[in-house]
Structure 1
Amino acid sequence: MYNLHDPILPGPSKKTRNYYRISSEKGRTTMASVKKDNRLTSSQSFMCVGFAGFFSKTATSPLEVVKIKSQVGTFHCKRGFCQSFLLIYHNDGLRGFWKGNFASCLRLFPYTAVHLTTYKKIVHLHMDDMGFISQWRAILAGGLAGIAAALATYPLEVVETRLIAQSCREPTYISVFHTLSSIYRREGFLALYRGFSLTVLGAFPFSIGCYAVYMNLDKLWQEPPFRFTPLQNFINGCLAAGVAQTLSYPFETVKRKMQAQSAHLPHLGGVDVHFSGMIDCFTQVVKNKGILSLWNGLTANTIKIVPYFGLLFTCFEMCKQVCLYRNGYIVSPLSYKLTPGVDQSLRPYELEEVKRYLKNRNFGSEESSIGNRW
């Protein structure tokens, strides 16, 4: 799932200076605004984020399928984490591990665009005159931006859940568009936003978890946050995601059950409890399955964090290096070695203008020398 629980971009990097860095001012932890890497165009930044998200989600899709089936409560996940993979393979085949992945990847681009735009606006509203914003406000801004992005793309999340919950042998839905049209036609427009309130409610424990982790990072590493290496920032991101997702996980579990349940699907979508609303779903789950069942699929979700963020970081940096090489800032797409004589503070279009100017000047000099010889 790619929603407010998933950061859009990797954490701070000494090499790229492309994100927000953590610093200390007068003893209080703050998040300073650092200009994004102007060596990339807006379209290139967007493409890097989209490609990294697409690749990392596709690679970790089997774990996402097991997680969602565990949350919904289908029969595939009644025997534990390891047996779930065998049952899914036996009943749905190898393609069963990538059910709903296209819908999930399709959400990336509109989600990213809305999230980044909203986050930027909220952060700038709360910055002080020095360009600083407190840690909890920055995290809250991320939560609000996630809610706005989820609102814009929530129907695709419902589609993802339905496609994963159904059986490949007797499919009710054929494609993303067919799923959207079927749900709208049979169940109405509001069915495409069933369980959305749980996204809003889950944002609060998620933000608290992030805040708790980031407020104690200096104690964990015993050094100021602005000195963290890229590896430390990667570990920090994984820790924050693990804690935050664990705290907000019950809300996501109930949301997935609400998304999957439908009177028009066999066995009501395979949901392991029958309910009439959000509160009733919480009640039925705790009453019939026990309170720990609200964390069904947490193992798959936790295991997914490291490879997901690892691939996200790696793919983003690789894609960015290719763009920087094409723009002329580095000598090779395989390293960050800067091109000699190139002003790294110039924007891509400014660098092109400088190159064009130098080329024309050199061409004019050659013509002048030929004229003098004549």
Structure 2
Amino acid sequence: MSHDPSTPAIVSILAGGIAGAIEGFSTYPFEFAKTRVQLREQKGQPTPRNPFRVVAQVYTQEGLAALYKGCSTLVIGSVAKDGIRFVSFDTIKNQFKDPETGTLTPLRNLGAGMCSGVVASITAVTPTERIKTALIDDARNERRFRSMTHCIKTILREDGFIGLYRGFVGTTLKQAGATAFRMGTYNILKDYEQKRNIKQSTLTNFGNGSVAGIVTTLATQPFDTIKTRCQSSRGASTIEAFQSIVADYGIGGFWKGTTMRLGRTVFSGGILFTTYEWAAAILNPLFGVKAHN
């Protein structure tokens, strides 16, 4: 992500939104399988332990369209989430800079990422994740929801507005940690490369983003699993989700879906940051920002 303080907020929002949409759609089958693995097993229908088998099973039995159940919700959420996340990180990191040197230490980088993750969770991530997860869970058996709109109306009717914020604690912890590690790791790597005059290219952007994705996944997977259980079609409290995971799988259950989420985040991190840098490079001149060598 660009460190150029002259980048306008509108460029950060637009570039982040474009990056989020492309990343969300292109990696959605990974997200679908990860969510299925994390949800409670249905009686007599155990979920395969290998998430790749989940993809194969759903594709064989339900077709390609089933693998994209809830995708439109995720893409819409990703546009909002990443637009907000990039612009809030750009804004917040300026407040975290050392007043004397004007630079960001690795710890300040992580702090800025954590704050922007909380902002993204409150404004966009929790409700869209709730809808996406409910749609995926519902499609396994009950099939109450006819569409994304019908799902939202049903949740609002049954639980009120607060129903859209099921899993808020787990989602916010995940987003705070994920944004801190993803943005922080990416910018730490980019700072390291720039100090050593390593040329920034599509390959380095993708590589940095992929490394950031791996670090993020391993550090935040337990929060993601709790969030998924909370946001099932019928919903659950954070305590109920925690207890059900331990009861079903023990402590190791908190890392359910790690393989598939790693598969997704390696690609998503690379796609997200590469697309952001590409989109920002195109948009900056349109808003009067000159390119820097």
Give the TM-score band, short-chain normalised.
0.7 to 0.9
Q: Judge which range, 76-85 or 187-196, deviates more.
A: 76-85
Assess, with a 3 A threshold, how the Cα gap between structure 1 residues 86 and 126 changes in structure 2: closer, same or farther: closer
Q: Does 1:86 align with 2:74?
A: no
Any idea what SS the aligned residue of 1:78 has?
coil
Any idea what SS the aligned residue of 1:107 has?
helix
Q: Which amino acid aligns with 1:183?
A: I
Q: Percent identity?
A: 25
Q: Once the 2 structures are TM-superposed, how far is the Cα of residue 279 of structure 1 from its aligned partner?
A: 2.9
Q: Which amino acid aligns with 1:283?
A: Q
Partner of 2:170: 198
Q: Once the 2 structures are TM-superposed, how far is the Cα of residue 66 of structure 1 from its aligned partner?
A: 0.3
Q: Once the 2 structures are TM-superposed, how far is the Cα of residue 147 of structure 1 from its aligned partner?
A: 1.0
Q: Once the 2 structures are TM-superposed, how far is the Cα of residue 259 of structure 1 from its aligned partner?
A: 0.5
CA contact (8 A) 2:110 2:181 kept: no
CA contact (8 A) 1:92 1:168 kept: no
Gapped regions of structure 1 (runs ≥ 5):
1-10, 12-18, 21-33, 264-275, 330-342, 347-374
Q: How does 1:1-374 map to 2 (within 5 A)?
A: 11=1, 19-20=2-3, 34-37=4-7, 43=10, 46-74=13-41, 75=45, 77-127=47-97, 128-153=99-124, 154-167=126-139, 171-202=143-174, 206=178, 225-230=195-200, 231-262=203-234, 277-316=237-276, 318-320=278-280, 323=283, 327=286, 344=290
Deviations 1:163-220 (A, max 9, x none): 11222785211222221111010122222111111233335654775699679969xx
Distance in 2, matches of 1:328 and 1:78, equals 50
Deviations 1:279-325 (A, max 9, x none): 34323322331222211111111111232233334544554565578
CA contact (8 A) 1:254 1:282 kept: yes
Any idea what SS the aligned residue of 2:104 has?
strand
Any idea what SS the aligned residue of 2:219 has?
helix
Distance in 1, matches of 2:185 and 2:287, equals 39
**What is the count of residue pairs matched by the alignment?**
284
Any idea what SS the aligned residue of 2:158 has?
helix
Assess, with a 3 A threshold, how the Cα gap between structure 1 residues 242 and 227 changes in structure 2: closer, same or farther: same
The normalised TM-score by structure 1 is 0.65
The normalised TM-score by structure 2 is 0.80
Distance in 2, matches of 1:210 and 1:78, equals 29
CA contact (8 A) 1:67 1:300 kept: yes
Distance in 1, matches of 2:10 and 2:25, equals 22
Assess, with a 3 A threshold, how the Cα gap between structure 1 residues 306 and 119 changes in structure 2: closer, same or farther: closer
Gapped regions of structure 2 (runs ≥ 5):
none
Q: Which amino acid aligns with 2:252?
A: L
Q: Which amino acid aligns with 1:148?
A: V
Distance in 1, matches of 2:171 and 2:141, equals 31
Higher Cα radius of gyration: 1
Q: Which amino acid aligns with 1:149?
A: A
Distance in 2, matches of 1:145 and 1:228, equals 28
Deviations 1:58-112 (A, max 9, x none): 1111111001111113457324223211221234321111111111111133323
Assess, with a 3 A threshold, how the Cα gap between structure 1 residues 302 and 282 changes in structure 2: closer, same or farther: same
